[in-house]
């Protein structure tokens, strides 16, 4: 399980969606306070689902097809999360004086999407290799 490159990508995606949002704020308010994802219920739910799907994909390493589908769902979920971050930042930055600067936490879904795409490419490569070996038998 751990010797496959897609597992490494999935573990990194787990760290990005499950651990790093607690460390990096989404943006900083004008009063100097950091705005973390835990202050908005939708962000908590979406990041929790993304983390859960990543763990589910890691433990379903024997079923490559299911792993691939879970990875695709996770990519879509992270795209929705990224869209919400962008929408919120574009609306808040121009209309209110509360948000002073955007944080690193807003870019975490982009990194997670890249890692999930790389994991899906590796899963697809493994699946094609298994199919080609089955044809030779």
What's residue 82's pLDDT? 92
CA angle at 69 for the pair 76 and 43, rounded to the nearest 5°: 30
Q: Which two tokens mark 61?
A: 């390493």
- In DSSP notation, the chain reads -TTSHHHHHHHHHHHHHHTHHHHS-SEEETTS-EE-GGGSHHHHHHHHHHHHHHHHHHHTTT-HHHHHHHHHHHHHHHHHHHHHHHHHHHHHHHH-SSEEEE-GGGGHHHHHHHHHHHHHHHHHHHHHHHHHHHHH-
What's residue 133's pLDDT? 83
What's residue 46's pLDDT? 93
What is the block-wise mean pLDDT of the chain (137 residues), using blocks of 10 residues?
Answer: 84 93 83 82 92 93 90 96 86 57 84 95 90 76
Contact 127/47 with Cβ under 8 angstroms?
no
Contact 35/27 with Cβ under 8 angstroms?
yes
pLDDT (tens digit per residue) in 30-43: 777 888 888 889 99
């Amino acid at each position: 399980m751990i010797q496959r490159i897609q597992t490494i990508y999935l573990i990194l995606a787990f760290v990005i969606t499950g651990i790093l949002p607690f460390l990096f704020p989404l943006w900083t308010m004008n009063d100097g306070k950091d705005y973390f994802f835990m202050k908005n219920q939708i962000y908590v739910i979406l990041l929790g689902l993304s983390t859960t799907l990543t763990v589910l994909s890691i433990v379903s390493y024997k079923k490559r097809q299911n792993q691939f589908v879970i990875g695709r769902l996770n990519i879509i979920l992270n795209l929705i999360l990224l869209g919400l971050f962008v929408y919120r930042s574009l609306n808040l930055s121009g209309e209110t004086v509360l948000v002073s600067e955007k944080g690193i936490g807003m870019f975490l879904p982009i990194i997670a999407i890249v890692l999930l795409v790389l994991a899906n490419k590796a899963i697809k490569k493994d699946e094609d290799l298994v199919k080609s070996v089955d044809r030779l038998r």
